[in-house]
């Protein structure tokens, strides 16, 4: 069974003229692997999954799996707010060889805890593919509670949870109830979460700085907390600046500033404001990314 740890990149989806930029996607994958990232997570929040159509969604997964070629694990974003749609994407990810899927809590319709449990168990019952749960109430409008996580964790296919509630208490309660792997869903909380038992991060920042994020995760994993804390503090201002205008607006702006343009955003997302770009540039200069 896949053992998630270290730094995994929540990948940007590159567009060119409104269409998927397949060449740039492949280039991004090669860059991430060359820089020592521990895994790739395409078509999640950072990958603008709400605005890609089904054919594009499947193509992004296929290209990532084929290009990674088992050099690093691919955890394909397959979440949806309709169980039937999530099941279709889940099945596709398995068929093309993804190592696992990232499945977000169904958004907008705000199911009960029993509804969440039955949604995810339907996926596990029908498709034999490891599942990383994704708890991000700021996006979905619903929080999966620790008892529900523990209930799902009794099934071996639920291998991890991406914890993006922003709550150390929730992560701690999950850890007291079950032994499911926890990975951080917030770059700013990677070190705090790893100090209480998380094994790594699914990172936005690593699109831009994969080697540094991988180093932070390795330092925390090996309990070199003094060095890890110093690196955490160094990266923290840029991490916060990435979210001034939301994600992936900030990271796409930062990539453009760094000369690694990933193209357009899809409406209703829009380009970063002048203030956000200036803040990003300031922090990137401090880190030596810009001159």
255 domain residue, yes or no? no
φ, ψ of residue 277 in degrees (nearest 5): -65, -40
Q: Which DSSP letter does residue 188 get?
A: G
CATH code for the domain of 123: 3.20.20.70
Active site residue 108: no
User: Residue 287: what pLDDT?
Assistant: 96
Contact 197, 175 (CB under 8 A): yes
The per-residue DSSP string of 48-113 comes to TGGGS-HHHHHHHHHHHHHHHTTSS-BEEE---SSHHHHHHHHHHHHHHT-SEEEEEPPPSS---H
In the chain, the number of structural domains is 1
133 domain residue, yes or no? yes
User: Residue 291: what pLDDT?
Assistant: 83
97 domain residue, yes or no? yes
Active site residue 134: yes
User: Residue 164: what pLDDT?
Assistant: 97
Residue corresponding to tokens 């930062």:
254
User: Residue 285: what pLDDT?
Assistant: 97
**Residues 31, 94, 108, 162: which is the catalytic one?**
162
Angle at which helix 83-96 crosses helix 54-68, to 10 degrees, equals 30
Contact 234, 287 (CB under 8 A): yes
**Residues 94, 134, 218, 252: which is the catalytic one?**
134
Q: Are strands 39-41 and 200-203 parallel, antiparallel or unpaired?
A: unpaired
User: Residue 268: what pLDDT?
Assistant: 95
228 domain residue, yes or no? no
- H helices of the chain, in order, are 22-34, 54-68, 83-96, 113-126, 137-140, 146-152, 168-177, 190-195, 210-221, 225-241, 249-257, 274-286
User: Residue 171: what pLDDT?
Assistant: 97
Range of the domain at 82: 6-222
Instruction: List the pLDDT tens digit at each of the 291 positions of the chain.
Output: 788 999 999 999 999 998 999 999 999 999 999 999 999 999 999 999 999 999 999 999 999 999 999 999 999 999 999 999 999 999 999 999 999 999 999 999 999 999 999 999 999 999 999 999 999 999 999 999 999 999 999 999 999 999 999 999 999 999 999 999 999 999 999 999 999 999 999 999 999 999 999 999 999 999 999 999 999 999 999 999 999 999 999 999 999 999 999 999 999 999 999 999 999 999 999 999 998
31 domain residue, yes or no? yes
How many CA within 13 A on the CB side of residue 73?
A: 22
């Amino acid at each position: 069974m896949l053992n998630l740890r270290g730094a995994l990149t929540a990948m940007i989806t590159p567009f060119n003229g409104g269409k998927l930029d397949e060449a740039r996607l492949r280039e991004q994958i090669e860059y991430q692997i060359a820089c020592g990232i521990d895994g790739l997570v395409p078509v999640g929040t950072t990958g603008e999954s709400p605005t890609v159509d089904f054919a594009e969604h499947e193509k992004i997964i296929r290209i990532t799996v084929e290009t990674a070629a088992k050099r690093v694990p691919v955890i394909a974003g397959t979440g949806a707010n309709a169980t039937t749609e999530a099941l279709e994407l889940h099945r596709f990810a398995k068929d093309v060889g993804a190592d696992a899927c990232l499945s977000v809590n169904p958004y907008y319709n705000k199911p009960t805890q029993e509804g969440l449990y039955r949604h995810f168990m339907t996926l596990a019952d029908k498709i034999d593919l490891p599942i990383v749960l994704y708890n991000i109430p700021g996006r979905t409008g619903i929080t999966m509670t620790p008892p529900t996580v523990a209930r799902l964790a009794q099934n071996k296919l639920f291998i991890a949870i991406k914890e993006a509630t922003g709550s150390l208490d929730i992560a701690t309660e999950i850890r007291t109830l079950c032994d499911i792997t926890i990975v951080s869903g917030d770059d700013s909380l990677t070190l705090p979460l790893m100090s209480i038992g998380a094994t790594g991060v699914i990172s936005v920042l690593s699109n831009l700085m994969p080697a540094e994020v991988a180093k932070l995760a390795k330092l925390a994993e090996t309990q070199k907390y003094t060095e890890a804390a110093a690196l955490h503090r160094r990266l923290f201002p840029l991490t916060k600046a990435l979210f001034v205008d939301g994600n992936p607006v900030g990271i796409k702006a930062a990539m453009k500033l760094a000369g690694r343009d990933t193209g357009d955003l899809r409406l209703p997302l829009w380009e970063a404001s002048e203030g956000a770009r200036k803040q990003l540039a300031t922090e990137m200069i401090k880190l030596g990314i810009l001159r």
